[in-house]
């Protein structure tokens, strides 16, 4: 009841492509005052191994530069860094992802250690640029087997999406708490005369 969630998840994309289309997704005409938060969640495709997946791979330094470029663009349309949340790639469960690759006739084209380097670069960009960051790569591996967070070793499972949502909510809650409710809580609607409450 406080705001709309606009999802622009684009399967298979990397930061090289995302920085090019960002001005189409959030235009100069976007009312920056109405934007509470923007999340930037890339790295799983960028960190693909160059020799085995050259189409999606983006070198580490370019990945960091692309994230900075996206942050700069958002700032140019008056979305300040305190409203930007970077999300690192999640960890990679190599044996499960290798099975998925082999089923498609491919070799294992990613590794968790490399994904971790991209996650660290994402965290560093957030420090350099003054944005918030959700270090999913580290949080998911903290004192636990993270395989249940992934459906195929790479993509988030239902449990993984719930984990991400809970972590993200802790960062969004503060930003949203000051916003007024656009509609009343259901218990506050006069059921005998809903027009009086809703119009």
Q: How many CA atoms lie within 13 A of 64 on its CB side?
A: 15
Residue 151's pLDDT is 96
Distance separating alpha carbons of residues 12 and 125, to the nearest angstrom = 22
Reported confidence tier of residue 41, pLDDT bands at 50, 70, 90: very high
Helix (H) or strand (E) holding 29: none
Region 151-170: what's the mean pLDDT?
96
Q: How confident is the model at residue 196 (pLDDT cuts 50, 70, 90)?
A: very high
Confidence at 2, pLDDT banded by 50, 70, 90: confident
Q: What is the mean pLDDT of the chain?
A: 94
Flag whether pLDDT at 175 surpasses 90.
no
DSSP for 111-132?
-HHHHHHHHHHHHHHHHHHT-E
- Give yes or no for residue 1 having a pLDDT over 80: no
What mean pLDDT is predicted for residues 33-56?
Answer: 95
The pLDDT of residue 46 = 98
Q: Where are the beta strands (DSSP E) in the chain?
A: 38-41, 84-87, 132-134
- Residue 160 confidence (pLDDT): 96
Could you tell me the pLDDT band of residue 177, with boundaries at 50, 70 and 90?
confident
In this predicted model, what pLDDT tens digit does every residue of 69-107 receive, in sequence order? 999 999 999 999 999 999 999 999 999 999 999 999 999
**Domains along the chain?**
15-197 (3.40.50.1110)
Write down the residue that tokens 């998911």 correspond to.
140
- Residue 41: strand, helix, or coil: strand
């Amino acid at each position: 009841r406080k705001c709309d969630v606009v999802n622009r998840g684009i399967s298979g994309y990397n930061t090289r492509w995302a920085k090019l289309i960002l001005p189409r997704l959030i235009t100069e005409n976007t009312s920056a005052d109405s934007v509470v938060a923007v999340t930037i969640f890339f790295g799983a495709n960028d960190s693909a191994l160059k020799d085995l997946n050259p189409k999606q791979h983006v070198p580490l330094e370019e990945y960091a530069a692309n994230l900075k470029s996206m942050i700069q663009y958002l700032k140019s349309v008056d979305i300040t860094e305190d409203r930007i949340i970077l999300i690192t790639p999640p960890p990679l469960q190599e044996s499960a992802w290798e099975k998925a690759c082999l089923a498609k006739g491919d070799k294992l084209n990613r590794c968790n250690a490399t994904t971790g380097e991209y996650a660290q670069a994402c965290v560093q960009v957030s420090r350099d640029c003054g944005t918030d960051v959700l270090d999913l790569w580290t949080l998911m591996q903290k004192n636990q087997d993270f395989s249940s967070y992934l459906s195929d070793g790479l993509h988030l499972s239902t449990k993984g999406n719930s984990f991400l949502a809970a972590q993200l909510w802790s960062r969004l809650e503060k930003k949203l708490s000051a916003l007024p409710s656009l509609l009343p809580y259901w218990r506050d609607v006069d059921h005998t005369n809903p027009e009086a409450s809703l119009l």
